[in-house]
Structure 1
Amino acid sequence: MPDDPDTQSILIMAETASISTRRVASGRVTISTRTEEIDRILPAELASVEVSVVQVPVDRKINSVPEVVAEGDLTIIPVVEERLVVMRELYLREEVHVRRVERTETVDVAATIRRQTVQIDRIPADLTPTSNKDDHHDL
């Protein structure tokens, strides 16, 4: 009777289980990279300033030396002289007009750029990998 407290039981046999793992190669992966150089023509903008100088005769009597005047892209530089008459008078002899003309030009500039590409090959475990790439990495 199993529920009887006076009953004793003896363990005759016990089962145990264990699990183990092992590594099995199912294949390999080869990764190779190659660097390419690509020649390209790239646009570039060049800016230049051209200056034209024109002397404008004025020959006008003035009371004081005028200031240099800038009007947009035009700069007027006064040139004066003293003339002896019975009294000294100031004349504006001429003005020098300086005009700036800006030009922008697009030119082609040769440049070399580098780019890498990658190739990934899967190799089954029973084959030996071969390589003919620049950089070779076995994983």
Structure 2
Amino acid sequence: MSDDVLRIPIVEEQARVTKRVVDTERVTVRTRPEEKDVIVREHLSREHVDVVRVAVDREIFEVPAIRTEGDVTIVPVVEERLVVEKRLFLVEELHLHRQVERTEVAVPTTLKRTRVEVNRDAVHPQEDH
């Protein structure tokens, strides 16, 4: 090679991007339970049935159905009696009188729920110079 060769260096620039994590905001979440004492009110019902036996003692030809008259349910009670022939007699009826008793109850109880508070605070990153 001769000394008169001129060498020219070729230079190329390259760009490189780097990333870094920067906090921009902080979020604080707080929960706190709350309790509230309350009185729960409700009406309760109770039924009482009085049974009154009503004697009938009459001959019938078929068993009567259970029936309702007003607030009275009538349940027929029958028996077979042996006469020269067999006959059906209505012996008695049961008259069932319903009485509804209502009372109010108050039950103290505690209801719970959770309150959530969310606070956002901006973070000012340090600028690199």
TM-score range, shorter chain: 0.5 to 0.7
Structure 2: how far apart are the matches of 1:65 and 1:115?
65
Q: Percent identity?
A: 31
Equivalences, count: 109
Q: Which amino acid letter does the alignment assign opposite residue 22 of structure 2?
A: V
Structure 1 residue matching 2:54: 3-state secondary structure: strand
2:68 to 56, 68, 71: 71
What do the CA deviations read for 1:19-49 (whole angstroms, capped 9, x no partner)?
1112223342211101112222334342322
Task: Give the C-alpha shift of residue 93 in structure 1.
Answer: 6.1
Q: Given the two structures, how large is their TM-score scaled by the length of structure 2?
A: 0.56
Q: In 2 relative to 1, CA 56–16 (structure 1 residues): closer, same or farther, beyond 3 Å?
A: same
Q: Is the 8 A contact 1:75 1:99 kept in 2?
A: no
Q: Does 1:28 align with 2:30?
A: no
Tell me the equivalent position of 2:49: 51
Q: CA RMSD in A?
A: 3.7
Q: Where does the alignment leave 5 or more consecutive residues of structure 1 unmatched?
A: 1-9, 83-89, 127-139
Structure 2 distance, partners of 1:77, 1:63, is 11
- CA displacement 1:73-132 (0-9 Å, x = unmatched): 51334387x8xxxxxxx9766533112344666644333221111112234548xxxxxx
TM-score (norm 1): 0.53
For structure 2, list consecutive stretches of 5 or more residues without a partner in the other structure. Answer: 1-7, 82-87, 125-129
For 1:19 and 1:61, locate their aligned partners in 2 and report how far apart those are by CA, in whole Å: 111
2:116 corresponds to 1:118: yes
